[in-house]
Amino acid sequence: MASYDTRDFSFTFSAPRTRAQRIARIETLATMLDTAFIVPGTNFRFGFDGLIGLVPGIGDAVTTALSLWLVKEAHALGAPKHLIVRMLGNIAIDGVVGAVPLLGDAFDLVWKSNRRNMHLLRGHLDRETGR
């Protein structure tokens, strides 16, 4: 009879992530939400936030939830309270203005709150590692 190590059959829903893996994951999410696509022949970029936001009602709720997850990860990475508050402010502006029909959809294409938040987080992380 064969002998099996129980570790061969272990399963976790969420494997532990290193700091670098977390940063890469939220960077990828911010890019997908705000700048994943480019309009051919221009420098204009947009992401799934602008596309999903076109779905009345639920679209903005879904993208706001994804944006809040990014802030949760920033908190887990040790971002200070004042930075978290600024990030939440960016999301609040995006969520409130984004909820306005047509104007909000256009605003989503320009505001890019997730890229703004990643810029804030990157600045903090760069200062932190520079110490």
Three-state SS sequence of the chain = CCCCCHHHHCCCCCCCCCHHHHHHHHHHHHHHHHCCEECCCCCCEECHHHHHCCCCCHHHHHHHHHHHHHHHHHHHCCCCHHHHHHHHHHHHHHHHHHCCCCHHHHHHHHHCHHHHHHHHHHHHHHHHHHC
Q: What is the mean pLDDT of the chain?
A: 87
- At 15, the pLDDT band (50, 70, 90 cuts) reads low
Which residues, in sequence order, are CB contacts of 93 under 8 Å at separation 6+? 111, 113
Residue 14 has what pLDDT? 64
What value does the mean pLDDT take over residues 101-112?
A: 89
Going by C-alpha positions, the residue among 78, 80, 76, 65 that lies closest to residue 113 is 65
Most confident among 3-17, 42-56, 61-75 (mean pLDDT): 61-75
Q: Tell me if 98 sits within 8 A of 60, measured CB to CB.
A: yes
Cα–Cα dist 10/93, whole Å: 43
Residue 86 has what pLDDT? 98
Q: 116 vs 7, which has greater pLDDT?
A: 116
Per-domain residue ranges of the chain: 17-130
- At 128, the pLDDT band (50, 70, 90 cuts) reads confident
Residue 12 has pLDDT above 90, yes or no: no
Residue 103 has pLDDT above 80, yes or no: yes
Percent of the chain residues past pLDDT 90, beyond the cut: 63
Token pair of 71 as six digits: 């802030």
